[in-house]
Amino acid sequence: MKKDSNIENTVEPSKEVIKDTSANGNGSRLLDGLNSAPKYFLNVGKTLLPFLVIFIFFEVLLVILHATIPDLSHNLYPIPHNIIVYTWKAFFPGKDSAANSVFIQVGWSFVRVLLGFVIGTLSGLIIGILMGLSKWLHRLLNPIFSLAISIPTLAWVPILLIIFGLNTKTIIVTIVLSCFFPIVYSTTNGIRSIDRKLIWAARIMGASNLEIFFDVLLPGSLVSVITGLRLAIGYSWRAIVGAEMLVALTDNIGIGYYIVGGQIANQIPQVIIGIFLIALGGLLLDATLMRPLELVTIRRWGMIEKSKQ
Amino acid sequence: MAKIDDRKTKIQATKLRKVFKERRHEVVAVEDLDIDIKEGEFSVIVGPSGCGKSTFLYMIAGFEKITDGELLLDGEPVLKPGRNRGFVFQEFALYPWKTVKGNIRMPLEIGGGISEEKIDAKVQEYINLVGLEGFENAYPHTLSGGMKQRVGLARALVYDPDILLLDEPFGSLDAQTRKIMQQELTRIWQEVTSHGEKKTVVFITHSVIEAVYLADRVFVMSARPGHIKAIIDVPIPRPRSYTGDEFIQIRQEVLNHLEEEVLKAAELYKGELSAE
Ligand SMILES: Nc1ncnc2c1ncn2[C@@H]1O[C@H](COP(=O)(O)OP(=O)(O)OP(=O)(O)O)[C@@H](O)[C@H]1O
Ligand SMILES: [Mg+2]
């Protein structure tokens, strides 16, 4: 009898939710559904509004410009709605066109990013874990990595160009570097900052070093590692554009090349489309890789605040 | 119940000393600590803040190495943490990535040698013991403090250690929950036995009321460097209440011993501040 009455009055959140909906009954839930659809569009609308404002602003500005200066180049000073028309052509150039579809350009960049990301992350995780586990290794390598992490990845490119030449290898190694350093840093710190009491709790139940590694250190460092992965994806997506721009002269493919190509061909619409695709690509990588990973791990475990985002 | 003095010694410290070496100076956390805790005894240690209570408990647990003296469990020196002891932390130290069930299972999975069904049955038994039915699959962050500490208790008990070490386990709970947990701990301690013996408990607290409510014997520690300054028997039969002449009288006795030490600790603290 003691047990039941003594439990504190906290209810599992999920249970509360279940209770609420059942109390509302079917009818009102249906109404909820109807109500939430307009809300959704309202939210999307709120997000898109600023873009629309900018679009209209430049539309008006450029129409006026072109009206007052008749010789103004439409390629260098495109009217926004023409860019939209151009976008269609960029994606679907047609069979007779010599140009690659921008799909292929972006696709290539994605492949390079993923390849570099996988290599850089795996090697970063290994080094990071070793540095997290060994005080000695940490003392030895930490000064080097602390310095390296503040170097913009593109600063390495001249050296890479000398080693690997003007080709895809250089681009991929650039991506590898842009992932490697943040991952090493976040993994090392993630492991080193785990509450020692979590380790003690495992020790007293007789856990071996291996069990502590897999049961405590790995999951315990995940918050930090995921932050590192996020940084790595962001950095690598940035670095790919830079690297492709630098290597563009010989390697005629990739989103970076596409942008430089636009500049060389005096096609500003192409540049603007490239910029938009970079932004979308970054969002997409985050939404398809990082968000789901975060949702099933650290968010579910309450290791980061749900309200933060 | 046999008189305390007749029982077998479970935990014995002689001239125990612990020094923390910082870069520039040393902190003597524990010095000349002698204690003799009997098998099946519920011992509670109180003492001013920073007097080395946690340090002492960590040494029993094997988390911290002793600097000098002797610390024996069942006559054997403590070398490292192990399954004859269970530990409950003030901050719970639950694994956020494991559910309630997962946290309580962990010691059994680590121990190995038991079938999945036996593990499940055992885990359920302890979930029921601490009153967490229905919360098996909840993650710790969704639980209240009191419920988290129930998980902590179950996790420390599920592999049946002889010794249960608790470092201010209810220190972060509100007053009401704290009382409930004190009653629950008493009930659990009386229910759970290993080889027919009650568990030997070392419980640390700041609260004198909590100490007198729970303890067979209350040990008052001195200001740093910590040693045992007074031992007060609490011969009140269980279940206890927080009132009654005997309770209040013993509480006063503990308070008197403690107050002196708290004042000394405050002096020490002031001294350290002015020395800096
Ligand atoms: N790892 C450490 N390194 C250096 N000094 C330490 C370490 N752990 C504890 N100390 C010092 O040893 C002394 C005793 O600490 P301890 O945590 O055991 O005290 P306590 O009695 O548990 O205090 P509280 O009541 O606040 O929990 C303190 O002065 C503390 O600063
Ligand atoms: Mg303490």
What is the domain-level CATH number for residue B20?
3.40.50.300
pLDDT of residue B4 exceeding 80, the answer is: no
Mean pLDDT of A181-203: 96
Domains and CATH numbers, chain A: 106-296 (1.10.3720.10)
Contact A229, A255 (CB under 8 A): no
- State the residue for tokens 């970079």: A278
Please, what is the average pLDDT of chain A?
83
Query: B87 alpha carbon to ligand 1 midpoint, in Å?
Result: 17
- Does residue B23 form part of some domain? yes
Which of A59-63, A74-78, A248-252, B101-105 has the largest mean confidence? B101-105
pLDDT in tens, A12-33: 343 333 333 333 344 444 455 5
Q: B242, B197, B227: which is closest to B41 by C-alpha?
A: B197
Cβ-nearest to A205 among B107, B131, B139 = B107
Decide if B157 is inside a domain.
no
Question: Within a 13 Å sphere around the CA of B177, how many CA atoms are in the beta-carbon half?
Answer: 17
Cβ contact (<8 Å) for A203 and B80?
Answer: yes
The mean pLDDT of A253-276, rounded to a whole number, is 89
B22 pLDDT more than 60: yes
pTM, 2 dp: 0.85
pLDDT at A35 exceeding the cut of 70: no
Q: Is residue B53 part of a domain?
A: yes
> CB-based contacts of B194: which residues, under 8 Å, 6+ apart?
B160, B161, B162
Residue B136 lies in a domain: no
CA–CA separation, A132 and A147 (whole Å): 17
- Reported as a pLDDT band with limits 50, 70 and 90, residue A46 is confident
Question: Is residue A11's pLDDT more than 60?
Answer: no
Cα(A217) to centroid(ligand 1), Å: 25
Residue B185 lies in a domain: no
Which domain does B8 fall in, by range? Answer: 4-84+200-275
Rounded Cα distance, A100 and A84, in Å: 18
Give the pLDDT score at B68: 95
Contacts of B146 in chain A (CB under 8 A): 8
pLDDT for res A27: 42
In this predicted complex, what is the ipTM?
0.93
In a domain, B267, yes or no: yes
Residue B170 lies in a domain: no
Nearest CA in chain B to A9: B144
Please give, rounded to a whole number of angstroms, the shortest distance from the CA of A229 to a CA of chain B.
19
Lowest mean per-residue pLDDT among A31-35, A230-234, B8-12, B156-160: A31-35
Number of domains comprising chain B: 1
Helix (H, G, I), strand (E, B) or coil at B217: strand
B52 lines ligand 1 (CB under 6 A): yes
Band of the pLDDT at B3, cuts 50, 70, 90? Answer: low
User: Does pLDDT of B154 surpass 50?
Assistant: yes
- The enclosing H or E element of A133 equals helix A102-133
CB contacts under 8 A, B 184-223 vs A, are 184, 187
Does residue B52 lie within any of the structural domains? yes
Lowest-confidence segment of A132-146, A175-189, A273-287 by average pLDDT: A273-287
Query: 10 Å Cβ neighbour count for A48?
Result: 11
